[in-house]
Amino acid sequence: MASRRDGRVISREELHELAWSVSAKRAGLLLGVSGKIFARICSALEIPRPPLGHWGKREPRPPPPALPPPSAGVKDGWKPGDPTEHGNHSRWVPQPQGPLTFADFQDSRRLHELVKPAAKALRRAEPGPDGYYLKPGIRRGLVDMACSKDGLEKCLRFTSDLFKRLESPENGHWVAIAPATRGFVRTRIDTAEVGAGRRKGVFPPWSPLRPTFVSVFGVPIGLAVVETSRPTRMRYVGGGRYVADSGRAEDHVPPTWVETRNVPTGLLKLVAYSPYYDVPWQRQWMETPGKLFSLSLDAIVRGLVAGAHELFLELEKAGIRSG
């Protein structure tokens, strides 16, 4: 088994063997880290570890389970000095909820692992106080996205496609949900369209417990996908319902009135931002009518790479290490 001084990548297979050969504390000493960090490394690399009390049992102990293949985006190993992730975050794995549906089967094939819990939660969600944007009942472990019921499937597909493109072999930028230990801060995401006449301060009815971020060459960049909204004249028609105003009040049973409401447009916006409180930085990409947003993925990835260089310089000025 390699030690910390070797400086080479230690494979998942070697770490799996180590995890089932000695205690986590002893394994950490061999790698030059604490037992808690070793446990986090195994969690991040999806390596099963012995249950509590395993090392207190007399011989013979139960044989170790087979090492499962890694999920998309999970690295092949760990190297001392990695600026990541492996010692500082773990992927949240949702627990099964009820029997699998056909939608679950489809999601397992087309959606990124981090997007699957959001798909399940948002499909069950109801609109929040604004009457449009979905508000899930849970906030833990969900990627940062906000959309209406009509825009949900489109939002899920784009977010999944974006994460897969970022983590593809040719790019190699991993995406994760920030752990509490990193202390990352999520900026407030405005859903309003960018342009003349926009109304500021239009926010979704929910936000995730922790930011979603992508690590680009070791520089963390917060990511949020939202369906944009547009101020629209809407008429109240009873029962809590609003419809686009036609200008004909006589078509509806009183009481009825007109007010301007921020209505989802069906178009998406990607917001990339600095997850550091004292370092402001942000970039946005807007979907345009008639053009599939997923066709812009390569340009978005290039923009995030350029943004990582910009953010790195800002972090250096602030005296913050991004790794």
* Integer Cα distance of 12 and 161 in angstroms: 26
Same structural domain, 82 and 106: no
Same structural domain, 157 and 298: yes
Query: Based on the structure, what is the number of domains in the chain?
Result: 2
pLDDT tens-place string over residues 124-134: 999 888 788 99
Amino acid letter at 14? E
The pLDDT of 109-126, averaged and rounded, is 88
Q: Which domain holds residue 266?
A: 102-318
Same structural domain, 78 and 130: no
Task: List Cα–Cα distances, 144 to 34, 132, 246, 265, in angstroms.
Answer: 31, 17, 35, 19
pLDDT band at 286 (very low <50, low <70, confident <90, very high): very high
* Integer Cα distance of 107 and 101 in angstroms: 10
Same structural domain, 76 and 113: no
Same structural domain, 64 and 106: no
Highest mean predicted confidence (pLDDT) among 19-33, 121-135, 146-160, 204-218: 146-160
Q: What is the pLDDT of residue 88?
A: 44
pLDDT tens-place string over residues 223-240: 999 999 888 776 766 666
Same structural domain, 126 and 268: yes
Q: What is the pLDDT of residue 70?
A: 79
| Last residue in a domain, options 25, 58, 87 | 87
Q: Which helix (H) or strand (E) holds 232?
A: strand 219-238
- Closest to 323 measured CA to CA, from 219, 224, 245: 219
- Closest to 9 measured CA to CA, from 57, 78, 110, 86: 78
